[in-house]
Structure 1
Amino acid sequence: MKWALSGAMIDAGQLIELAKVAEDAGYHSVAMPDSVFYPEHVSADYPYTSDGKRMWRPEVPMPDPFIAIAAMSSVTRRLRFSTNVLKLPLRDPLLTAKQIATMAVMSVNRVAIGVGLSWIPEEFTFTRTDMRTRGARTDEAVEIIKAVCAGRGPEWVEYHGRHYDFDRLMISPAPDTPVPIYVGGHTEPGLKRAARLGDGWISVNTTVTQLTDAIRRLTELRADYGRSDVPFEIDVAPTDVSGVDGYRELERAGVTICRVVPWRLYGAEPTLPARIDAVRRFADEVIAKF
């Protein structure tokens, strides 16, 4: 199993040092969340809490994931990076593909992209995008990014879909290795999208029981789509595991990447020295035993 350090809700000024420490300590990657802004008033419930309320304050930092990844990749050599998850239907897919292709080339193929739909109606209203078509547009956007970042360097691509349509064009630079795209979502449509289009699936923060149920369904769906033999990452963030035995149980269930927040596991203060100590402690107590 590979280990990803979560970069969620961290001061932007701490990320560079945490990335360097994570690389030295043996982590596989850093996973960066995506939140464009916080609407003061939200007309929908948050889907991942029992009371529908967000579990963070409006001022909690959420640096732009692409800028943060670019900065961290410039001070590391082995560490990989992913988004967890990029709200893809808020963005133009060609502009997004351009950014991803450039990051992949400049990081020497150390970038993977996790994508999701977004649940906040105001994000779509304020960015002048359509929430109603977010699923279909995400499907097309994934196909466009895969075409641009197919791993054959710059080449002519075209796309003619219902929501996005363009003739032959070339984006350069483009990577010489395909950029993996992991698809988020615990709903049936989300799991189907991951099984059909994704190079992997990426979870929200949730329990082992919910993770194993989702993995079981993904296995069924991948077989239905004839993709059982295609390499597929299972990237999860368990909320009720802390010891080695619990992580081994996840590995047996099919998990390939585990996202962790060591400072929360150990009750550390949100200072850079405390977080660095927690990153190293988790590496010594858990990662080293794998």
Structure 2
Amino acid sequence: MKWALSGAMIGARELLELAPAAEEAGYHSIALPDSVFYPEKVSADYPYTPDGKRMWPAEMPMPDPFITMSAMAAVTERLEFSTNVLKLPLRDPLLTAKQIATMAVLSGNRIGIGVGLSWIPEEFAFTRTEMRTRGARTDEAIEIIKAVCAGNGPEWVEYHGKHYDFDRLMISPAPDRPVPVYVGGHSEPGLRRAARAGDGWISVNVPADQLKVAIGRLAELRAGYGRSELPFEIDVSPTDVGDVAGYREIESAGATICRVTPWRIFDAEQTTAGRIGALRRFADEVIAKY
């Protein structure tokens, strides 16, 4: 099992202190969410709470994941970084691929990209992108990112899809190892996208039983696509697990990365010192014994 520290809802400068502490404590990576802005009024329910309401205030810090990942990579040597998840259809895929390629080179191939669709209509309206085509555009964007960041260094690429179309071009620098692209989502289309096109799958924060169901479905879908033998990460965040036995059980179900928030597990003080103490305690009580 690889251990990822959740970097959600933490200030940018504090993350620069948490990253070296996480590396020293033995974590594999830090995962960062993506939120471009907080609309005062939202015309859709939040899909991951019973009442459909968001569980964070407007002023909650959500630093840009790419800038923050680059900054954290500069103060660490081994720790890896990923998005959990990047709202890909809000962005131009070529510009996104350029950013990812540069981050991968600067970090020494310590970057992974988790992608999702976004559920907020206002995000699409205010960024002048189309919500209706978000799934199809995400499929094409994944292909474009993988072509640019295929691991062959700078090379000529072209793409001719329904939503994105360009002739041969080269983006430099480009990484000498492929950048993995993971797909988030518990819906059937999301699971299919992960099984068909992803290098892995990323869960939301849900109980272990729900994770096991999704992992089982992913196995069925990957077999159907003839991809069962390919490497595939399963990145989970169980809300009802906090000890070695529980993590071993979810690993036996197929999880390969576990995303944790130690300051919530231990009800620690929401300060930099409190979070560093909690991540070290989790490393001592779980990671070291695991």
Is TM > 0.5 for Structure 1 vs Structure 2?
Answer: yes
Q: Which residue of 2 aligns with 1:141?
A: 141
Q: Which residue of 2 aligns with 1:41?
A: 41
User: Where do 1:1-290 residues align within 5 Å?
Assistant: 1-290=1-290
Distance across 1 between alignment mates of 2:217 and 2:116: 18
Distance across 1 between alignment mates of 2:73 and 2:23: 11
Distance across 2 between alignment mates of 1:228 and 1:267: 39
- Report Cα offsets for 1:15-42 as digits up to 9, x if no partner: 0110000000000000000000000000
- Report Cα offsets for 1:50-80 as digits up to 9, x if no partner: 1100111111000000000000000101000
- Report Cα offsets for 1:169-225 as digits up to 9, x if no partner: 000000000000000000000000000000000000111011000000000000000
List structure 1 segments (4+ residues) > 6 angstroms apart after TM superposition.
none
TM-score by length of structure 1 reads 1.00
Question: What SS is found at the alignment partner of 2:124?
Answer: helix
Distance across 2 between alignment mates of 1:16 and 1:134: 33
- Report Cα offsets for 1:219-265 as digits up to 9, x if no partner: 00000000000000000111000111000001100100000000001
Question: What SS is found at the alignment partner of 1:98?
Answer: helix
Question: What SS is found at the alignment partner of 1:231?
Answer: coil
Residue type of the partner of 1:238?
P
More deviation, 4-13/119-128: 4-13
- Report Cα offsets for 1:64-109 as digits up to 9, x if no partner: 0000000000010100000000000000000000000000000000
Question: What SS is found at the alignment partner of 1:286?
Answer: helix
Distance across 2 between alignment mates of 1:48 and 1:275: 25
Residue type of the partner of 1:26?
G
Distance across 2 between alignment mates of 1:244 and 1:209: 17
Q: CA deviation at 1:132?
A: 0.1
Distance across 1 between alignment mates of 2:180 and 2:100: 11
Distance across 1 between alignment mates of 2:114 and 2:136: 17
Question: What SS is found at the alignment partner of 2:38?
Answer: coil
Q: CA deviation at 1:269?
A: 1.3
CA RMSD, 1 decimal: 0.4
Residue type of the partner of 2:227?
R
Distance across 2 between alignment mates of 1:248 and 1:258: 11
Matched positions, count: 290
Question: What SS is found at the alignment partner of 2:288?
Answer: helix
Question: What SS is found at the alignment partner of 1:158?
Answer: strand
Question: What SS is found at the alignment partner of 1:174?
Answer: coil
Distance across 2 between alignment mates of 1:269 and 1:119: 31
Distance across 1 between alignment mates of 2:288 and 2:181: 28
Question: What SS is found at the alignment partner of 2:50?
Answer: coil
Q: CA deviation at 1:136?
A: 0.1
Unaligned runs of 5+ in 2: none
Unaligned runs of 5+ in 1: none
Q: CA deviation at 1:270?
A: 1.0
Question: What SS is found at the alignment partner of 1:196?
Answer: helix
Distance across 2 between alignment mates of 1:56 and 1:253: 31
Q: CA deviation at 1:12?
A: 1.4
